[in-house]
Structure 1
Amino acid sequence: MDLRKIDDRISVTPQIQIADLPAIASLGFKTLVANRPDNEEPGQPLMAGIEEAAREHGLQWVYMPVASDNISDDDVERFGAMIRTADAPVLAFCRSGTRCTVLWALSSAGETPAKEIFEKAQSAGYNISGIASRLAQQAQKKS
């Protein structure tokens, strides 16, 4: 498991396994968010199994599948609303963690300065410079 802290509210990670749930719970996470659709690639664990294990370990479960190459404004809005109300800290996962980071970044636009968003993503190991123009558009929507 490769946990990457974005801020005190959210961390992201690449695909987790059911066997990771005891460690995730012991680290104090309260909410587990899956941004990866079932059957995105062969061999990935089914979300129903991860959900069951998450609940067994006392974690809130949020299944919010998003296509990595097609993050819509609705996806961003739903993710932002969920992050603001979820029991924290939150751990979000997808194939690599990038999709979760992009969702966090876009949902934070307008509330957090772009420079800080890019720095936090970079500190977590994610280069999201490719979404700079979309980040600026999101920030304009909120102003």
Structure 2
Amino acid sequence: MDIRPIDERISVAPQITPADVAELARKGFRTLVANRPDNEEPGQPSMAAIEAAAREHGLKWVYQPVDSANILDSDVDRFDEMIREADAPVLAFCRSGTRCTVLWALSSARRDAVPKIVDKARHAGYDLSVLAPRMAQQAGK
């Protein structure tokens, strides 16, 4: 499992499996967020199976499927509210972790400086510098 911490509240990861959930609970995660649509590609674990494992291990579950090619402001709105209210620490996952990081970055840009956000994402292994203009548009929302 490739867990990439972004800040004290959230880490991101590529696709997890139901078998990974026990380890995530042992590591202290309290909320799992799935940003990947079910059946996005053949062979991916079902979200229902991951949700069942999360509940079995006492983790809160949030299912917010997002189209990676078309992240809408409404997706950012929902993610922003969820991440501020979620029991931390949070692990958000998708196919590669990128769309979770983009959602975090766009929502964080409402409160934080874009260079700081780009730097945090880069330290987690994601180059979001091309999103700087869209992050700047989120400021003040």
TM range (shorter): over 0.9
TM-score when scaled to structure 1? 0.97
- Look up the match of 1:114: 114
Q: What's the RMSD between the two structures over aligned residues? A: 0.7
- Look up the match of 2:48: 48
Q: What is the rounded CA distance, in whole Å, between the counterparts of 1:133 and 1:43 in structure 2?
A: 36
Identity %: 69
SS at match of 1:134: helix
- Look up the match of 1:62: 62
- Look up the match of 2:101: 101
Give the letter aligned to residue 77 of structure 2: E
- Tell me how far 1:32 sits from its aligned partner: 0.2
- Tell me how far 1:65 sits from its aligned partner: 0.3
Divergent runs of 4+, >4 A: none
- Look up the match of 1:83: 83
Give the letter aligned to residue 106 of structure 2: L
Question: Structure 1: 5+ residue runs without aligned partners?
Answer: none
- Look up the match of 2:127: 127
- Tell me how far 1:110 sits from its aligned partner: 2.9
Q: What is the rounded CA distance, in whole Å, between the counterparts of 2:55 and 2:130 in structure 1?
A: 35
SS at match of 1:38: coil
Aligned residues: 141
Greater shift after overlay, 76-85 or 104-113? 104-113
Give the letter aligned to residue 128 of structure 1: L
TM-score when scaled to structure 2? 0.98
Matched, 1:32 2:32: yes
Q: What is the rounded CA distance, in whole Å, between the counterparts of 1:57 and 1:67 in structure 2?
A: 28
Give the letter aligned to residue 25 of structure 2: A
